[in-house]
């Protein structure tokens, strides 16, 4: 792959203003990727985009909510101008109510809101960007959580949404196998982020690692054959990563 080809790679990251999304964006920018980044908070997103520009790559920042159809349309238009999409990272997530209530007392409207952000929006954005992903034999990464499989008290709404996203991911992978588009789910593990702090208001979470702990995983994942990884669910902080048998 020539330097010119490498610089033509384009990634779109949602929830990119801070935490894991910003960390992954920095990793990709340092590797020469062009980026489209989005998040709800304009000020934090612009600050992240300005920092990414220091790597000498092209960065477009569009603030907005991925549950908003018009915002997703703006993202699609932005990516379409580039003519390709090599990587879509559906990282934007909604923790839900904080402090975390039990499922037995979870307000249905709030439960539905979590699913709109964590399941419906990633699927809708993937659908809308699929022609560009197919053109580039792209990779879709849906950010999951250990809450999807653990049944932690208080994490029911968030965990259920991430379990649903896991199923969406593997189903899409099977359905898109002949299109050249790969889909994976990634559990990044416990991280010292604003969202994790919101789950434990007033508690010290300094024992959790920073999102940079996941960088070796991303370096590994992005160099694997797309067809070999599609349909897998990876734990970014695992001792080792293996291709599905």
CA–CA separation, 83 and 234 (whole Å): 29
- DSSP letter for 57, please: S
Alpha carbons 75 and 125: distance in angstroms, whole number:
9
Q: Is 240 helix (H, G, I), strand (E, B) or coil?
A: coil
Task: Please tell me the distance from the alpha carbon of residue 240 to that of residue 227, in angstroms, as a whole number.
Answer: 20
Return the minimum-mean-pLDDT range out of 32-36, 202-206, 210-214: 202-206
Coil vs helix vs strand at 76: helix
Q: In the prediction, which pLDDT does 198 show?
A: 65
- Tens of pLDDT, residue by residue over 68-126, are 999 999 999 999 999 999 999 999 999 999 899 999 999 999 999 999 999 999 999 99
- Measured from the Cβ of residue 115, the count of other Cβ atoms closer than 10 Å reads 18
pTM: 0.93
The fold of 3-235 is: Rossmann fold (3.40.50)
90 strand-pairing partners: 142
**Spatial separation of the C-alpha atoms in residues 23 and 31, rounded to whole Å:** 13
Which pLDDT score is estimated for 4? Answer: 42
Residue 130 and residue 123: Cα distance in Å, rounded? 10
Output the pLDDT for position 8: 76
- Strand locations in the chain, DSSP E? 10-14, 34-39, 59-63, 87-90, 139-143, 182-187, 233-235
Nearest CA to 134 out of 183, 168, 190, 97 is that of 183
Active site residue 152: no
Q: List 139's β-bridge partners, or say none.
A: 87, 182
Q: Rounded mean pLDDT of 224-230? A: 96
* Mean pLDDT score of the chain: 92
Domain positions in the chain are: 3-235
Of 63-72, 92-101, 200-209, the least confident: 200-209
118 secondary structure, DSSP code: I
What is the tens place of the pLDDT at every residue in 116-152?
999 999 999 999 999 999 999 999 999 999 999 998 9
- Between CA 199 and CA 166 the distance in angstroms is 21
- 194 closest CA partner among 51, 24, 18, 65: 18
Do 87 and 62 meet the contact criterion of CB atoms below 8 Å apart? no
Q: How far apart are CA 196 and CA 6, in angstroms?
A: 34
Task: Find the helix or strand (DSSP H, E) in which 40 lies.
Answer: none
């Amino acid at each position: 792959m020539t330097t010119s080809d490498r610089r033509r790679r384009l990634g779109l990251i949602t929830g990119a203003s801070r935490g894991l999304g910003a960390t992954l964006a920095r990793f990709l920018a340092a590797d020469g990727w062009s980026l489209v980044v989005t998040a709800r908070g304009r000020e934090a997103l612009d600050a992240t985009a300005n920092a990414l520009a220091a790597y000498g790559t092209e960065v477009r920042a569009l603030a907005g909510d991925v549950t908003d159809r018009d915002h997703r349309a703006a993202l699609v238009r932005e990516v379409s101008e580039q003519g390709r999409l090599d990587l879509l990272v559906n990282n934007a997530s909604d923790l839900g109510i904080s402090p975390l209530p039990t499922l037995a007392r979870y307000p249905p409207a709030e439960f539905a809101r979590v699913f709109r952000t964590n399941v419906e929006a990633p699927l809708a954005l993937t659908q809308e960007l699929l022609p560009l992903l197919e053109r580039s034999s792209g990779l879709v990464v849906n950010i999951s959580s250990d809450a999807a499989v653990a049944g932690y008290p208080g994490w029911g709404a968030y965990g259920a949404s991430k379990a649903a996203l896991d199923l969406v991911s593997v189903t899409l992978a099977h359905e898109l196998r002949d299109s050249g588009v790969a889909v994976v789910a990634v559990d990044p593990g416990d991280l010292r982020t604003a969202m994790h702090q919101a789950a434990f208001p007033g508690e010290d979470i300094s024992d959790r690692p920073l999102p940079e702990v996941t960088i070796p995983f991303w370096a590994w994942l992005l160099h694997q054959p797309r067809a070999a990884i599609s349909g897998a669910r990876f734990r970014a902080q695992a001792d080792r990563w293996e291709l599905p048998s």
